[in-house]
Amino acid sequence: VVGAEPLEAARKRHDSSRGELPIAALRISKGDPALPTVMLDEDHSSASHPYQRVVD
């Protein structure tokens, strides 16, 4: 059970989990999404920039 295990067991589980990741997952830079991400605007259309608002 996560949270009830000793710290050393949690560290081993963490190291094991990281070892299962593909090499590309270890090269994430600041600002890169950890998971593939699709940004949507308020109309649920694909948005190229989530903070850019179109003013009519």
Closest CA to 34 of 25, 44, 42: 25
Q: Are 16 and 8 in contact, with CB atoms under 8 Å apart?
A: no
Confidence check: pLDDT of 2 > 90: no
**Rounded to whole angstroms, how far apart are CA atoms 26 and 19?**
10
Average pLDDT for the chain: 78
C-alpha torsion sign, points 5, 7, 12, 14: positive
pLDDT of residue 21: 87
User: How confident is residue 16, by pLDDT bands cut at 50, 70 and 90?
Assistant: very high
